Every structure is written in structure tokens, then in C-alpha cells.
Amino acid sequence: MARPKSDDKRNAILSAATQIFAERGLAAPTSAISNLAGIAEGTLFTYFNNKDGLLNELYREIKLDLADAMMSGFPRKKSVRTRLRYIWDRYTTWGVSHPDQRKVLSQLQLSGSLTLESKKAGSAPFSEIEAMSEEAVEQRILRDIPLEFLAATMDASAQTTISFMTSHPASAEKYQSLGFETFWKGISRK
């Protein structure tokens, strides 16, 4: 009879994968992940069918962690600007606090290894942001910008902001505010 899978081992594998992929890129061998996790390489494949399975699960885990950071306490009854600022602050703070996850998430999104199912699962927790943005365009608060472009613009602006926050920790709040103001002026009608 097969031994039951351990959440601790699964989490150790995902943590090791994050660190290894952040340091070496997604082409890093699974043996490096197994070594760092303190398990036999065959054990990794007990938890994940193959490397693509590991990559997809890691993507979902990082997206869930990010969603938890961004959406916890989301001020649903506030103005669009206030809600976007909340999302901005939570995203940039998460990015500064989780540099390895941020780096791996960027790699995964460009990798071509993600399944449609993983992409849907990764975007599902953010559907409220999408709906808010669509409403804001209809209400003429935001410019009529395709949502994919709006999201990509926000991400690029946030990455720049995170870089400055990381490089200048004493001025992190200043750069966080400056980044949001620059982003807001680019997307709002007012």
C-alpha cells in the first residue's frame, strides 16, 4: 500500500522550486529542487507527475498567495480610485516582500508551460478586479482601454515601482505613491 502524501513534503518541494527557479530559471533540473527540499528525486514525481505539473501547481500556489495578499480586506464599497490604490499598495508590498515568487511568476507567465486550466485558476481570484475595471470604463471613470492592456500597464508600472521600493527602502512609501499616481493619471479620465 502506498504511503499517504505529506503536505509538508509538498510544501517543501514548492518552496525549493521557487528558490531554484528564481536563482536558475525554469530550465533548472528537478534534481536541484529535490536536493534543496531534502527528498529523493523520485519523491518529487510522487507529488507531481512531471516538471510541467510542478510548474503549473507552483503557478497556482503563487497566484493564490498573491490574491490573498491583494484581496484580503478589499474595500468593496469605496471609490474606484480607492479600490485601485488598495490593490496597488497590496501588490507592490507583496512584490517587495516576495522577490523570488515575483520573479518565478514572471517566468511562468512567459514560459508557455501553463495549461489553460492553470491560467483560469490563477485569474479566478482576481475576477472582482476585472469586473470593477469594466464598470469603471462604462461609468467613464477610466479610459476605454482593453482590460488586458490595462492589466499589463498596471503590472509594468508596478514592477518599476517595486524595483524603486526595493532599491530605496527609506523612500519606499514615496515611490509606492508616485507609482500609483503616475499609473492613475495614465488610465483615468479625470
- pLDDT tens, 121-142? 999 989 999 999 999 999 999 9
End-to-end Cα separation, the chain, in angstroms: 65
Residue 92 lies in a domain: yes
Burial of 49 (0-12, 13-18, 19+ CB in 10 A): exposed
Residues 21 and 95 in one domain: no
Residue 68 lies in a domain: yes
Q: Is the pLDDT of residue 89 over 80?
A: yes
- pLDDT tens, 148-168? 899 899 999 999 999 999 999
Residue 125 lies in a domain: yes
Q: Is the pLDDT of residue 3 over 60?
A: no
Which residue segment(s) compose the domain that 32 sits in?
7-48
Average pLDDT (10-15) is: 95
Residues 70 and 38 in one domain: no
The whole-model pTM stands at: 0.90
